[in-house]
Structure 1
Amino acid sequence: MAHIDYYFGTMSTWAYLAGDRLEQIAARHGASITYKPLDLNQLFDRTGGQRREARHPARLTYRDQEIARWTQLLGLPFNPKPAHWPVNPAPSSYAIIAAQEAGGGDLAALVQGVMRGVWAEDRDASDDAFLREVLAAAGFDPATADKGLFTGAEIYGRNLEQAVEAGAFGSPFYIVRETDQRFWGQDRLEFLDRHLAEIA
């Protein structure tokens, strides 16, 4: 069975646009997924990327046009200027990590719920009440947001180191462990799908 390491930032527009396509692909090929939220700005700093505020206006304009095209194509609700963005990604990342460690719920629904809150519902993904809400909606103990703080912080830092070591440099970033095939961006999911079919 193939295994996918999924590196992403919880504030990432492009990770939100991936929706549940990764999970559909994994299910189709019997692959498993490890969710690895990380500090995306630190990943940029470590791998030669640029934080948003340092990018040339031409790049930002093109990014906005591409996002509009993709949201229309995918039919996803999207607010280009969310009320709570950017916010500290650590609390939502810790909650996801703690939920993954605890098990018992739908991790994909939790991840998507966090990002939908940011990009479609004007929710604050660093807010404890919101995190408890999305944890409960995904079938996890809402208290997981508090119980897993230490473990979440430890693994959050480790995810960054693993991403750099594995060759990830953006979000979303998918790596098939068995073949070291790397796929950057939600627009590369079709290639991931084809690769998993080839190695099945």
Structure 2
Amino acid sequence: MAHIDYYFSTMSPFTYLAGTTLEQIAARHGATITYKPLDIVALFARTGGVAPADRHPSRQSYRAQEMQRQARKREMPMNPKPAHFPTNSAPSSYAIIAAQSDGAGDLGALAHGFTRAVWAEDRDIAQDDVIRECLDAAGFDPALADSGLLTGAETYAANLEEAVKVGVFGAPFYVADSGQLFWGQDRLDDLDAHLAGKL
């Protein structure tokens, strides 16, 4: 059975644009997924990247255009200048880590719910009520927002260290157990083909 380590940020626009395509691909190939939310700004700093606000204006302009093009292509609503970006992604990431341990709901829906809250709903995913509502909507106990905070913090930090070690430098990032790396929501077709043995 194939396995995918999924590195992402709950405030990443391109993670939002990935939707739940990864979960569909995994289901098609009988693959399992481990969700590994991480601090994307810290990842950029560790791997030679630059936070969006600190990039050259030409890069910022291109990023804004590309976000809107990809959203239209996928017929997904998107606010290119959301009210709560950047925000603290740690609390929502801890909730995903706790939910993964709990195993009761839909992790793909939860991860997408957080990114959708930022990029389509102008909600602040650092707020407890938003985290609880996203947990509930994905079939998890909202009380998970209050549990496992220490474990969540430790795992969140460990995900960053592991990401750097295996060659991850952005989000979303997919690492197949074959050792093949796929960066960006626009590489999901390649991941699909790889799992099918075609690439």
Same-fold call, TM > 0.5? yes
- Alignment-derived partner of residue 197 in structure 1: 196
- Determine whether 1:188 maps to 2:187: yes
Equivalent position of 1:97 in the other structure: 97
Alignment of 1:1-200 (within 5 A): 1-177=1-177, 179-198=178-197
Structure 2 Cα separation of the partners of residues 64 and 140 of structure 1: 33
Secondary structure of 2:142 counterpart: coil
**CA positional deviation for 1:139:** 1.1
Letter in 2 for 1:161: E
TM-fit CA distance, 1:53: 2.2
Counterparts of 2:28 and 2:152 in 1: how far apart (Å)? 30
**Structure 2 runs not aligned, ≥5 long:** none
Return the alpha-carbon distance in structure 2 between the equivalents of residues 79 and 52 of structure 1: 16
1:182 CA drift (Å): 0.1
Distance 2:181 2:25 in 1: 15
What amino acid is aligned across from residue 194 of structure 2 in structure 1?
H
User: 1: distance between equivalents of 2:23 and 2:102?
Assistant: 19
Structure 1: gaps of 5 or more residues: none
Q: List 4+ stretches of structure 1 deviating above 2 A.
A: none
Deviations 1:128-157 (A, max 9, x none): 011111111111111101112111101000
Distance in 2 (alpha carbons) for counterparts of 1:139 and 1:148? 18
CA contact (8 A) 2:53 2:60 kept: no
1:111, distance to aligned residue in structure 2 (A): 0.7
Counterparts of 1:124 and 1:26, CA distance in 2? 29
In structure 1, distance between residues paired with 2:106 and 2:52: 31
Give the C-alpha shift of residue 193 in structure 1: 0.4
The TM-score with structure 2 as length reference comes to: 0.98
Would the aligned equivalents of 2:77 and 2:120 in 1 still touch at CA under 8 Å? yes
